Chain A
Amino acid sequence: MNEETLLKDIQNDPQKFGDLYDAYYKNIFGYAYRRTANYDVAKDIAAETFLKAYIGIGRFTWRNISVLYWLYKIATNEINKYFRSRKYEPESLHRVLEEYGVDVTHYSNAESERIMLEEDLQRHREFVKLHELITTLDTKYQDVISLRYYEQKSIREIAVILRKKEGTVKSLLSRGIAKLREHLTGE
């Protein structure tokens, strides 16, 4: 997929946004799910992310940086909203659901999909233990640790996503790991 061409196409035909959606939904939902370990919240965060991207795609300027990084940035902001209040209110999603009367949270197979993912999560015990510890850290450390180890992003990619300098990302990562070590050793 040539994103630069696709972005130009989207300017002329917003329906082409569907190609971006199809290509990256799994990445964003997966990221939100690994961050929150909650199927319903991850689903809402992914939906809100794409809705915000759809509304704001006209302002996106191509600078040889994948749209995926921008989507990660939006998703990270939404995830941090969730961690700040421990509940998630997808504002844009609510507005569109109200307008069109379609409630995505009432997906007919949501229950079976939720059970399937929860069962899968139980098979990742080591991840669940680490996730519980990581979520006790400040969100700025959670962001870099998750992107580095869950999403396998390089320092440079994390810097692009979070719009921080590479040195800042390295420093946050180092301090985050140190704090996580303190939690693991009970210091």
Chain B
Amino acid sequence: MIESLYTPLAMLIFPGGLFALALGLMLKGLDRRLAARLQGRVGPPLAQPLYDLVKLAKKRTMVPDIACQPVFLGAPLIGTVAMALATALVPIPGLYTPDPMLGDLLVLLYLLTVPAVVLMIAGSASGSPFGAIGFSREMAVMLAYEGPLVLVVASVALRTGLGQGGWASFSLTEIIAYQQSHGAFLFDPVMWPALLAFLAFYPANLGIIPFDIPEAETEVLEGPLLEYSGPALGLFKIMSALKAGVVLGLGIALFFPIAPDGFPGLLVQVAKMVVLMLLGVTVLRVSMGRMRIDQAFYFFLKWPLALSALSLAIVALA
């Protein structure tokens, strides 16, 4: 009885749902504030993403006449629910291991593709030509970065599995346990190409400059999100905040899950996420310009793919 209640609670309160939302909003607030300071401005208050969400809840959602209304309104809902489930799947080393009945690394990978697909569907369901452009660009970027991601995950899984004398293990719990006993993959030279590929992957997934082509404000008038307003747009913002938490948590679980047990483990996890966000996202965002879609596509097909394939080959052969 308690076990069957555990999963919904994990999805809604901790570590998913409310906690992940608060964490995601805090990360975004810190990112905006630091980005402003790096640009020599003052910047918004730290709770600004929360104010944005509250404001969006008070406006009204307008649906275009030519839009497909069920898909238009249902797409953000599906994305948010998928991300809420994904936050319950990401382990917090030392504190929380997800229920094995929910699924594991592969399910998490599938769930991570849902926000991108939802954005694409929203763009085409809105019926506007800018939405269609956003749809095609999002598809191109997603195709580009999914390859390196899968190869990175495969090389981590293979290393864990081979290190334990079996075949590849796609269980996050096992990966974390292996790293806690044999040293984190962050310090393992064999995994460094995979680490670089992951560092190139997650700005693209989060929609950060230099890879935020689908949602480019100045180029395609916000692409898929053009026709959204009010609570539907708020759901998209919630989805993006949850996704930030999931992707950062996944990165930490794959490469550096060394943490003390219990409550300090939670603090260490939050600290690692903040550092990863500020260094990997904010500094990148303020120092680079946006890449064109063909530049980003070929970039991902060249370097991250090559690096992650190299890592997989070395792990398989070693």
Decide if A and B are genuine partners: no
A-side residues, CB < 8 A to B, are none
B-side residues, CB < 8 A to A, are none
